[in-house]
Structures are given as C-alpha cells and as structure tokens.
Amino acid sequence: MSFNLPAFRRKWSCRGYMSVGAAMVTVALGLADRAEARKYGAPLDIFGIAAPRPRATVHSANTSGKIPLPRPRPEDAPKAPAKASDEAPAETDGKPSADKPGATKPAEAAPPPEKQASACRLALTEEIAIAPSIPDIRGPGACGGEDLVRLEAIVLPDKRKVAVKPAAILRCTMASAIADWVRKDVVPLAASLGSTISDLDNFDSFECRGRNRVVGALLSEHGKANAIDVRAIKLANGQSLGLTDRTMSREVRERVLHSVCSRFSTVLGPGSDWYHEDHIHLDLAQRRNDYRICQWNVWDPLPQVAPLLPAERPEEAPPREVAAKPEAKPETRPETKPETTQGVDDEAAEKSPVPADNPAAEGHKAQPHKPATKKRR
C-alpha cells in the first residue's frame, strides 16, 4: 500500500477541522475577556443585553458634613440686568402705567402710515377752492385715479364763491387748472358784461366709460377723473352764458375759446363731432411731444327769420265790429231808383276830370246814359 502526501490531502482533508479549531479558540478568548468587558458599557448594545456599567465610588472631600456655599459677590462687580418677569408693574393710584398695556387690555396694532400729501394738494388751499380730498378710486379696468378731490366751489380773490353744480370729482391737477381758469379768465369776462360769475354748470366729470360712451372704445379721460364738460357760465344778474349758444355774442364765445385752448391740452366743442354740440369738453391728457387738440368752431349767430304771426293792425283800419258786420241783403226798390241812380252817376261823372283830347271820352259823352244796376256777388 503506497502512501503519499498529495493523496492523503485529497482523501483526508483537514481544512474543516482547522476551521473548527479556530472557532473554538475564538470562543475561549471571548469568554476570557467577558469579565473585563463588563466593566465598560457596550457602545452598540441596542438590545440591552450587556451588563450595566458599575458606578465609581464618590469620595467627598467635605469631611465636616456641611454643604459648601459659593463665595460672596464682590462689591465692585457689575450688577446683572434685572429680568422683566422679576419686576412687578409699577402702579400709580391703582392704575397701570401708560407705557405698558394692562393685563386685560390687548396690545393695539400700530396704525398704517398716513399717505403724504402731494404738492398739488398742498397748493390747493381753501383760499383757492373748496375741494376736500377723497379716497383713491380703483374701478374696473384702468378707471379711477389717485390724489382725487371733490371740487365744490371756487373762491375768487374777493372771497366770493363760485359754486360748481353739481360738484365735480377730479384729480387735484385738473381741479387746480379749472380754478385758475375761472379766477383769471372768466372773472374779467363777466366784469366786461357788467356782472360777476355765480355758478359753473358742470355737465359731466368722473365717469368710468369709453370715449363718447361707445362700448369697446378707448378709455375716456372722464374715466381717469381728468376731464370736465362745461355747458354754461351763470352770472349774478341771472344771465346764462351758453358756450355753444349761437344767440350769444360771437366775441364772448371767441374769448372763452382762446382762454381754454391756452390752458388745457384737449378742447372739444361744436364742429369736432356731434357728441359735443351742446357743451365744451376740457381735459389735461398727456400726449407725445406735448401735442394739443383744440377743435371748437364758433358759429355765426343764427339769421333773423320772419315771424310767423301776422303784422300788427294799422291804426287807420276801421273797427273790427264794422269790418266783421255781415253784408245786408238787396231790397226791392221802387221804379224811381234808376232816376236816383242816374242823378248820382251824373254827379260823379262831372266831378271826374276827362281830358279834352280823348276821343273815347267824347264818345262817352255823346252816348245816352244807361241806368246802373248793382251786381250781386
């Protein structure tokens, strides 16, 4: 029987026995160190199977049995800030302090900051116009505006007030332009007519709509509170200056035309379109290159038309009773009527002059006279 090492290894492998031996050695070493490992806590002991760590013995240095106290605070040390919770709220006469809210009164929210007034609002004082400020308007689309006022009256230099009827809702800049126009241009015009201005007829001011009230048109300046329509200017003597009235003096209307076209960027009146035949449109629209529109034709006065009534009755006319008396019916006359009529006709023929050279007249004299008969009508 032959025996060699390679054959033995193939038949009797000891690799498994060597592995079992290594495992037994590892277990033995682990049991030997287990007692030492009990002194320390397992860092990854998530199931709590490790032995609890023994507590170290506390050795007290105080042999007298008294609890040691901290050292007293030095006098020169800075004082610590007092806490608000440690101090009691100061009370005067049983009332809480004014700077701290009471226990039952909740803290009030800070009011919103007030809107700063514009330069126009500061300049438009009560010495110029009665125009209180109103809140901003935010309408549909781009309607509305900011810095709005309600123009109720214009104060003249002599402290008299010109009422705006009805009150107009405008931007402050537009209201200021209207006040300057009335104070500097309209007042001298009224003085030249021997009176003073009393009212301004406001036909329309703020209204959220398109131009000329056409649906879908561009937003009008009225929708931006930047326009006003004026129909007439009323004087203190009762006279009304209709700006489109053709019976008014042409010179007066032309003076108003020149004054408004020099102050406003848009002026529309008769001749611009048929929407402005009975009033004047004024606004301060901003355009490129400061472009202005002034379309107002001052028509000539209407021609004098003959009256429809008949002329007055002349003084030399007979009384109406005689003229309206019915004509009497012809009566039966006696046989002597032709003679009487013949005598009257002869007298009339003698009184009427007849030229001597008229042959018809001579023949008329030669012919025998026929009795005149009255014709019925």
- What percentage of the chain has pLDDT greater than the value 70? 58
- φ/ψ (deg, to 5) at 293: -125, 125
Residue 126: predicted pLDDT: 94
Give CA–CA dist 149/175, Å, rounded. Answer: 8
Instruction: Please compute the mean of the pLDDT values over residues 110-139 and round it to a whole number.
Output: 88
Instruction: Please compute the mean of the pLDDT values over residues 276-292 and round it to a whole number.
Output: 93
Instruction: Please compute the mean of the pLDDT values over residues 74-99 and round it to a whole number.
Output: 58
Q: Which residue has the higher pLDDT, 369 or 176?
A: 176
**Most confident of the following: 6-20, 80-94, 259-273:** 259-273
129 in Cβ contact with 155 (< 8 Å): yes
Instruction: Please compute the mean of the pLDDT values over residues 284-312 and round it to a whole number.
Output: 85
Instruction: Please compute the mean of the pLDDT values over residues 337-353 and round it to a whole number.
Output: 49
Token pair in block for residue 346:
């002869």
Residue 55: predicted pLDDT: 59
Q: Which residue has the higher pLDDT, 108 or 241?
A: 241
50 in Cβ contact with 34 (< 8 Å): no
175 pLDDT above the threshold of 60: yes
359 pLDDT above the threshold of 50: no
- What percentage of the chain has pLDDT greater than the value 90? 41
Residue 166: asked if its preceding bond is cis (omega within 30°), the reply is yes
Q: Which residue has the higher pLDDT, 247 or 35?
A: 247
Residue 340: predicted pLDDT: 47
Residue 300: predicted pLDDT: 86
Instruction: Please compute the mean of the pLDDT values over residues 106-128 and round it to a whole number.
Output: 80
- φ/ψ (deg, to 5) at 232: -155, 160
pLDDT digits (tens, 9 = 90+) for 132-153: 999 999 888 889 999 999 999 9
Q: What is the mean pLDDT of the chain?
A: 75
Q: Which residue has the higher pLDDT, 294 or 107?
A: 294
pLDDT digits (tens, 9 = 90+) for 179-196: 999 999 999 999 999 999
pLDDT digits (tens, 9 = 90+) for 299-333: 888 776 766 777 788 888 888 776 555 665 555 55
C-alpha distances in angstroms, 339 versus 31, 37, 350, 365, 376? 193, 188, 17, 18, 20
pLDDT digits (tens, 9 = 90+) for 191-236: 999 999 999 999 999 999 888 888 878 999 999 999 999 999 999 9
Give CA–CA dist 111/108, Å, rounded. Answer: 9
| Nearest residue to 90 via CA among 81, 99, 80, 82 | 99
